[in-house]
């Protein structure tokens, strides 16, 4: 078990990547405090962790609120007497060109995707500084934190912001045993990706469009990202800090546009 004795906070834990990571961390021995806007979903996620043999609790948390994020972190420390890991995972998509997006859209996506990560780091760091073992921060970025994308520039801007925060905090706290890394997933099969589906489009057509710019022609399962989160959070990554780990089937590795206007490639199962 790779997280025995560790205490972890996970945001956005009611669904998708956060929920899969909560289950995996629980099965690896971590004790968990889970936060999400979706109170019912996050309680179900905590129940799954308990069924996996771990200790877990959940709190309705809006990551755009400093008070709420502080309560989540303090709740973990009050319950388990320390904090070792925070996975700042909560996020929202924001499709649409700059002309289509409003100032309110900008403020909303920055508040959830960037301010939410800032708040998680800010309120977890004092506990890592007082923990003799230090701590591990895993921030959720995206392949859109490594490369530009024309279809969702506001989302991409927030995910680049997460990379800047991650690298800067990694530098600032490296000598205090605190590692700060980010995950940069490609297309992952979670509710977020399906929210972008046009109701008139059939499922396979939607998958083709979602993975057309991904050299590995499939969506990955949330568990495939959870395993990368586990690596970054665990002592196996003891000398890994300041990186954005791409979990993206090579999407951010370079330009891939030879078949730009073709959607008749073979999908992998
Ligand atoms: N699915 C993908 O293809 C993909 C790719 C790259 C990065 N990501 C990132 O992964 C993270 C998780 O997304 P997912 O794909 O699992 O999506 P998801 O929609 O399944 O899960 C996101 C969770 O975040 C929660 N959330 C949203 N706003 C919140 C807020 N203000 N406060 C607290 N919780 C909030 C939602 O309730 C939901 O449970 C996001 O940051 C997303 O940007 C996803």
Listing DSSP states for the chain in one string gives --STT-EEEEESTTSHHHHHHHHHHHHTT-EEEEEES-HHHHHHHHHHHHHTT--EEEEE--TT-HHHHHHHHHHHHHHHS---EEEE-------S-TTT--HHHHHHHHIIIIIHHHHHHHHHHHHHHTSTT-EEEEEE--GGGTS--SS-HHHHHHHHHHHHHHHHHHHHHGGGTEEEEEEEE-SB-SHHHHHT--TTS-HHHHHHHHHTT-SS-SPBPHHHHHHHHHHHHSGGGTT--S-EEEESTTGGGS---TTTT---SPPP-
Q: How far is CA 112 from CA 37, 91, 108, 196, in A?
A: 11, 6, 6, 18
* pLDDT for 260: 57
CA distance 165 to 185: 17
pLDDT in tens, 13-52: 999 999 999 999 999 999 999 999 999 999 999 999 999 9
Domain span including residue 117: 7-188+221-253
pLDDT in tens, 103-121: 999 999 999 999 999 999 9
Q: Which atom of ligand 1 is nearest to the CA of 113?
A: 41
Closest protein CA for atom 7 of ligand 1 = 142
CA distance 137 to 84: 9
Task: Average the pLDDT over 245-253 and give the result.
Answer: 97
216 assigned to some structural domain: no
Q: Which of 84, 74, 75, 21 is nearest to 48 (CA)?
A: 21
Q: Are 129 and 123 in contact (CB under 8 A)?
A: no
* pLDDT for 265: 81
Instruction: Give yes or no: 173 in active site.
Output: no
Beginning with the edge strand found earlier in the chain, give each strand of the sheet holding 85-88 in spatial order.
56-60, 31-36, 7-11, 85-88, 135-140, 178-185, 244-247
* pLDDT for 237: 98
Task: Average the pLDDT over 236-250 and give the result.
Answer: 98
CA of 89 to the centre of ligand 1 (A): 7
User: Above pLDDT 70, what percent of the chain?
Assistant: 98
Closest protein CA for atom 20 of ligand 1 = 16
Closest protein CA for atom 36 of ligand 1 = 12
Q: Distance between terminal CA atoms of the chain?
A: 30
- Which comes out higher in pLDDT, residue 99 or 212? 99
Q: Which range has the worst mean pLDDT, 2-11, 103-112, 121-130, 250-259? A: 250-259
- Which comes out higher in pLDDT, residue 260 or 20? 20
pLDDT in tens, 152-198: 999 999 999 999 999 999 999 999 999 999 999 999 999 999 987 88
180 assigned to some structural domain: yes
pLDDT band at 80 (very low <50, low <70, confident <90, very high): very high
CA of 60 to the centre of ligand 1 (A): 15
- Assess whether the C-beta atom of 221 lies below 6 angstroms from ligand 1: no
Is it the case that residue 258 has pLDDT exceeding 90? no
pLDDT band at 228 (very low <50, low <70, confident <90, very high): very high
CA of 92 to the centre of ligand 1 (A): 5
Q: Which atom of ligand 1 is nearest to the CA of 144?
A: 6
* CA angle centred on 184, ends 174 and 116, rounded to 5°: 70
**Count of structural domains, the chain:** 1
Q: Which atom of ligand 1 is nearest to the CA of 159?
A: 43
- Assess whether the C-beta atom of 38 lies below 6 angstroms from ligand 1: yes
Q: Which atom of ligand 1 is nearest to the CA of 93?
A: 43
- Assess whether the C-beta atom of 37 lies below 6 angstroms from ligand 1: yes
Is it the case that residue 63 has pLDDT exceeding 60? yes
36 assigned to some structural domain: yes
Task: Average the pLDDT over 82-103 and give the result.
Answer: 98
Averaged confidence pLDDT in the chain? 96
117 assigned to some structural domain: yes
* pLDDT for 263: 76
202 assigned to some structural domain: no
CA of 267 to the centre of ligand 1 (A): 25
243 assigned to some structural domain: yes
Is it the case that residue 199 has pLDDT exceeding 90? no
Domain harbouring 175, CATH code:
3.40.50.720
Length of the chain: 269
* pLDDT for 261: 62
Q: Are 128 and 176 in contact (CB under 8 A)?
A: yes
């Amino acid at each position: 078990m790779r997280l025995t004795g560790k205490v972890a906070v996970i945001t956005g834990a009611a669904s998708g990547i956060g929920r899969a990571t909560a289950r995996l961390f629980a099965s690896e021995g971590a004790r968990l405090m889970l936060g999400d806007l979706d109170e019912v979903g996050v309680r179900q996620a905590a129940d799954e962790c308990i069924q996996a043999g771990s200790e877990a609790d959940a709190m309705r948390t809006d990551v755009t609120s400093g008070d709420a994020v502080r309560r989540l972190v303090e709740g973990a420390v009050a319950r388990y007497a320390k904090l070792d890991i925070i996975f700042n995972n909560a996020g929202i998509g924001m499709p649409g060109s700059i002309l289509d997006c409003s100032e309110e859209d900008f403020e909303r996506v920055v508040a959830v995707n960037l301010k939410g990560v800032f708040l998680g780091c800010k309120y977890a760091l004092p506990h890592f500084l007082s923990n003799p073992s230090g701590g591990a921060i895993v921030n959720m970025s995206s392949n859109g934190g490594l490369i530009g994308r024309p279809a969702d520039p506001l989302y991409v801007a927030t995910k680049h912001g997460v990379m800047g925060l991650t690298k800067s905090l990694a530098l600032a706290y490296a000598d205090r045993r605190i590692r700060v890394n980010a995950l940069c997933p490609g297309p992952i099969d979670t509710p977020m990706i399906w929210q972008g589906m046009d109701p008139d489009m059939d499922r396979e057509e939607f998958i083709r469009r979602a993975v057309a710019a991904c050299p590995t022609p499939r969506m990955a399962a949330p568990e495939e990202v959870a395993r990368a989160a586990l690596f970054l959070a665990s002592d196996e990554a003891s000398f890994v800090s300041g990186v954005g780990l791409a979990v993206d089937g090579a999407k951010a590795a370079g330009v891939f546009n030879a078949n730009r206007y073709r959607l008749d490639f073979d999908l992998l199962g």
